[in-house]
Structure 1
């Protein structure tokens, strides 16, 4: 490697609520020589981060521009409403949007839901971020509907959450610029999809030690030592076929029959 060449590396973006630890661990096991750099970005900025080449791939929230990006959907989250622990909603297992119609609901500027018609009563302002909205909920000013992962990420001891059965949902996907589908991106795809290291789908690269051992064995093997494959037996004697297929007489020496001994006169 010349001095101008840089060792390979990979930059992986992820949005709040995504926990990439499991995939990072597998990456480090399979590709220990390729450093993986994690970059957390707001959900709204993830597409631009990938488009600008500031990350090689990312765990993002759908939708994405499928004319420019490739995307592999991974899972869809449950939507929940965050409420104070002493709120009436905390006494039930789940709610609907109709149950929230009389509640003040915050819609932060970084809201990940594409509401056709935001439910509940309009708040006096739109918080800049979801954490800001959570703080207002803790102050008993209103409620907020978020994906469950964000409710866990910004959890507070004085708050709880309940599923909203008919609310919009947010889906997480692995995405990257389609024209930048590199070998390392293929490696990440295999990891995310749960392929084994020896999988025949995608890239399949045996360990370096195994490759070297195979190469050394081929170089050290003397020429002409390989055994030729044994022809498959047909189970029939060639003489038998020449004799018309009579397996009892063809190709074997016949013993003449002995007659009765002559009586001496």
Structure 2
């Protein structure tokens, strides 16, 4: 956690919590700032930075991450191994296929794997992220798979999305390094999970 220096005193540390696109942490921030006095909470958007890299570098103290983490480029080992972090699961995200509005797949209520045969799949990586993938398929080129939250975030009039019937979804989790655990982080994860000041810790 960061500690700010002033001319005459040291200010209490701030808890820096990163969050990835598709996650809206404002509700948790309001809970944190309501009621008892706590350290300052700083929310840091991680638009292009991998959450595990932000944690490892010390840029954030905790992060709302999407699990499983994306594979490291070039087959390299991840910056942080799963065993090195606490990961509190929060909610699941349903996967969707994003297609152009005039794509026949847009007529389906739900898409099965067999429906995708003959359609080109654009990965988020090759398109520079979810926004680029939505723009690519909106031009009439194939489809892209992503969590529904990202499809909504990058919605366009010339693209739409449909749930995928046979694919496992991703899960949003609150993650922080085990070797940096403390009472502040434990209290924040409790607030995120809905624990109140009167709740017992478990």
TM over 0.5: yes
SS at match of 1:94: coil
Asked whether the 8 Å contact 1:81–1:144 carries over to 2, the reply is yes
TM-fit CA distance, 1:32: 5.0
Determine the structure 1 residue equivalent to 2:189: 189
SS at match of 2:50: helix
Asked whether the 8 Å contact 2:130–2:151 carries over to 1, the reply is no
TM-score, scaled to structure 1: 0.65
SS at match of 1:106: coil
Determine the structure 2 residue equivalent to 1:146: 146
TM-fit CA distance, 1:127: 1.5
TM-fit CA distance, 1:200: 2.0
Distance, in Å, in 1 between the alignment partners of 2:102 and 2:149 is 22
> Larger Cα Rg: Structure 1 or Structure 2?
1
Which consecutive aligned stretches of 4+ in structure 1 deviate over 3 angstroms post-superposition?
30-33
Distance, in Å, in 2 between the alignment partners of 1:43 and 1:31 is 34
Within 5 Å, give how 1:238-249 maps onto structure 2.
Answer: none
Determine the structure 1 residue equivalent to 2:29: 24
Q: Name which structure has the greater RCO, CA cutoff 8 Å, separation 6+.
A: 2
TM-score, scaled to structure 2: 0.84
Distance, in Å, in 2 between the alignment partners of 1:145 and 1:47 is 22
* Gapped regions of structure 2 (runs ≥ 5): 1-5, 70-80
Choose 22-31 or 7-16, whichever is displaced more.
22-31
1:39 aligns with 2:55: no
Determine the structure 2 residue equivalent to 1:11: 16
Distance, in Å, in 1 between the alignment partners of 2:40 and 2:156 is 34
Distance, in Å, in 2 between the alignment partners of 1:98 and 1:25 is 44
What is the aligned-residue RMSD (CA, Å)? 1.9
Within 5 Å, give how 1:1-265 maps onto structure 2.
Answer: 3=8, 5-30=10-35, 32=37, 34-42=39-47, 45-63=50-68, 65-109=81-125, 126-201=126-201
Q: Whose strand proportion is higher, 1 or 2? A: 2
* Gapped regions of structure 1 (runs ≥ 5): 110-125, 203-265
Asked whether the 8 Å contact 1:93–1:162 carries over to 2, the reply is yes
